[in-house]
Structure formats: structure tokens, C-alpha cells
Amino acid sequence: MRIPPLLLAAALLPGLCAAQDDADNSIHAVTVLHEDGTKTVTVTDPVKHTSEASTYDGGDKLTQKIVYTLDDNNQLASGIVYTPDNRPLYKSVYKRDAMGRVSEEDDSKMDDTPIGRFVYEYAPSGKLHRIRAYDSQGNEIHGAAHRDEQGH
């Protein structure tokens, strides 16, 4: 099962996945070292409304890049996932709920052929409760992506 680009973004860019008030327009770079020895370097440019997350293996070889377009509030609007040799693999478009949280991610091939969809459900506390995964025909993929309020 492919990991939704939003899950990577949520781990690296928490302010981009929820409404934010700060008006800091400086470029931000964040490096996250993962338990498996990989790392992700994310560079966000609020002025250009872009963010780029590059993931590297333990030998510093690029394994994936995601280029996000940010909306006027510098929140995720869309993203393109690239292969290590910089070929576009697929794209994602994000929809938001009334609280400004991402409520849906629609993934498609570069020719707009649907790949799948993720629906994000939130607990009354506002924390992510569950992610429902759907295939390209709209059928739910049971057990594919689930997370409760405790992160299980």
C-alpha cells in the first residue's frame, strides 16, 4: 500500500496540514532522521507557495521527492510525487473541511486517471482519528490505512 503524501507532510510540516496564523515568510528547511536510517529534507518557501520534501536512503541516495503547491494560506493544496530520477509518478490534490484540516486526498496519474483516494476523519478532540483508503473505482480498501486517536 502506498503511503499518502499527506502522511509524510503531516510528520514533517505540521503547520501545512492545519490552519495556521503565523505570517513568517522566510524559507524554512527541516531535516528529519527516520528510525530506519533514511532522512527527509523539506524546504518550504511561503513566498513562492511551494514546499519540497526529498527522502534519502542511508547512503544519502535520493529515493523520492514530493513537490507541494501551497494555497494562499500556505497550506497544502496539491503535490507531485517524483521518482529518484526526477520523473513525475503521480499527483495528489487536497480538500479541506470547515476547520481548515485536510479531509480528502485524491491521487491520480499524471494523465488524471484516478489511482485512489484517502479520506481523513477526525475525533472530537480534533486529532486525526482514521484514514480510509479507496481504490481507483471508489471501493474501500479495508485495513489499508487506519489510525485511531492514540496513533494506532
3-class DSSP assignment, residue 7: helix
- Whether residue 88 is predicted with pLDDT greater than 50 in this model: the reply is yes
Q: 140: which DSSP letter?
A: B
pLDDT computed for residue 25 by the predictor: 83
CA distance 124 to 126: 5
Higher pLDDT among residues 99 and 5, named by residue = 99
pLDDT band with cut points at 50, 70 and 90 for residue 13: very low
pLDDT computed for residue 23 by the predictor: 63
Kindly list the domain boundaries of the chain, sorted by start residue: 5-19+28-135
Q: What is the mean pLDDT of residues 63-82?
A: 95
3-class DSSP assignment, residue 66: strand
pLDDT computed for residue 142 by the predictor: 82
Q: What is the mean pLDDT of residues 92-105?
A: 94
Q: What is the mean pLDDT of residues 20-47?
A: 87
pLDDT computed for residue 44 by the predictor: 95
Strands, DSSP E only, in the chain?
A: 28-33, 39-45, 50-56, 62-70, 76-82, 88-96, 102-108, 114-122, 128-135
- Whether residue 11 is predicted with pLDDT greater than 50 in this model: the reply is no
- Whether residue 14 is predicted with pLDDT greater than 60 in this model: the reply is no
pLDDT band with cut points at 50, 70 and 90 for residue 3: low
- Each residue of 77-86: pLDDT tens digit? 999 999 999 9
- Whether residue 148 is predicted with pLDDT greater than 80 in this model: the reply is no
